[in-house]
Structure 1
Amino acid sequence: MASAAQRLGMIGIVDSVCVVHQLVDDPGTVGVTAIDKRPVEGPVRVRTLGLHGDVQADRKNHGGEEKAVYAYSAADADWWARQLGRDVQPGYFGENLRISGAQGADFDVDGAAAGERWRIGERVVLEVTWPRIPCATFGRWVEQDRWVKRFLQAGRPGTYFRVVTPGEVRAGDAVEIIAVGEGPSMREVAAVNS
């Protein structure tokens, strides 16, 4: 795990930009879920409340300015694919951005601390706010026993962001950590909730 100083300037790549594909019936209190996100081609506008074309069905617990964009690591998705014995396609965990390291290096999405800022592409700046704390809907979607607890205990929660500077993102955009945060990492914050 890299220190804050080591994280500054870290470079990654956006593998996929994902938005909701369709609302799916769900037995939870809202009745539907927008977790079914899939990659889209071309540029996608990023605004204060997230990506154009994306939606959250349960706006009480998801989305808003503090959880406008959700990023997940390609390395973590590959790890889960091995654990689950199946592909974990971009968007499957409800993420908007699937991120990998540049030139084969790791890009530790979960090692970010609140306040860390990422520049994506030419203009977009995102600021780390929260780790993903999974809900029962996520558990039903993945169809795994005790999924919520298992996901938290794995220490691979992914990271939510608020939008500092709007713009456009697309697959292939560079991701650069331009300011580091202080305090515990998203991995450590999520561990407190496991």
Structure 2
Amino acid sequence: MEILSVNVGRLRAVEHTSAATGLSGVDKRPVPGPVRVLAPGPRDTGASGVEGDEIGDPRFHGGGDRAVTAYAREDLDHWERELGRTLADGAFGENLTTTGVDVNGALIGERWRIGSGVVLEVTGGRVPCNTFQGHLGEKGWVRRFTRAGQPGALLRVIEPGTLRAGDPVRVVHRPEHDITVALLFRAATVERELLPRTLVAAPWMESSLLEVAREYAEKHGG
């Protein structure tokens, strides 16, 4: 298991964004290492946990619970076949493109040690938006991506440090529950009746997903 590339995005004007500025950093490109990774502070600060990566809309991106994003090269390869086009590392706006890592099967609260220093903790799955759809230029992409249930992971920084392409990834902790990135994503999108079940992962869950799960459970029981 290893990091294939570390990807960052610079702010640029895009048509499909909810950001008041009209800017987005979704177009991420691989950069040579080493790259510093650190906890960027609370939600809504507009900060990524990856040095050089810029956030266009801090309401939905960046902050402590969403400091870093990861997507598996294996899933990008799947979408290359589905879409009939080449998808470079970083094409889905992910900071880390991995290989050999079961990103969508990772447990909420699972910790990865990358290289010798960085430790990241899985907090949830990436929810697609119109900016992502506009970036890819695929009609109906949000619905199609959602139905596929391969969202990639959001991560918080537990131990900061530097990383680069080729760094090994080791799972160093797995909590005692069965809520995976993929399951939480389905619960938050197409199978909301699963939301109360996901609350066993509440101590580790990304804050906005946790709010959705708690509100649903209060309204519907569970």
**Equivalents in 1 of 2:143, 2:185: separation in Å?**
11
Q: Which runs of 5+ in 1 are unaligned?
A: 1-11, 102-106
Choose which of 37, 47, 55 in structure 1 pairs with 2:38: 47
Q: Is contact 1:25–1:32 with CA below 8 Å preserved after alignment?
A: yes
Q: Which runs of 5+ in 2 are unaligned?
A: 41-48, 191-222
Structure with the higher strand share, 1 or 2: 1
Choose which of 169, 179, 185 in structure 1 pairs with 2:180: 185
SS in structure 1 at match of 2:127: coil
TM-score (norm 2): 0.77
Identity of counterpart residues, as a percentage? 44
TM-score (norm 1): 0.88
Choose which of 2, 15, 18 in structure 2 pairs with 1:29: 18
1:8 corresponds to which residue? Answer: none
Structure with the higher helix share, 1 or 2: 2
**2:137 maps to 1:138:** no
CA RMSD of aligned residues (A): 1.1
**Equivalents in 1 of 2:88, 2:127: separation in Å?**
20
Deviation of 1:142 after TM superposition, in Å, equals 1.1
Q: Is contact 1:24–1:33 with CA below 8 Å preserved after alignment?
A: yes
Deviation of 1:140 after TM superposition, in Å, equals 1.1
SS in structure 2 at match of 1:160: strand
One-letter code of the match for 1:83?
E
Give the 5 Å matches for 1:18-167: 18-30=7-19, 31-49=22-40, 50-101=49-100, 107-167=101-161
Larger RCO, structures 1/2 (Cα 8 Å, 6+ apart): 1
**Equivalents in 2 of 1:142, 1:89: separation in Å?**
12
Bigger radius of gyration: 2
SS in structure 1 at match of 2:4: strand
Deviation digits for residues 40-81 of structure 1 (CA, Å, limit 9, x no counterpart):
012000010211001110001111000000000010000001
Deviation of 1:22 after TM superposition, in Å, equals 4.5
**2:3 maps to 1:14:** yes
Q: Is contact 1:125–1:163 with CA below 8 Å preserved after alignment?
A: yes
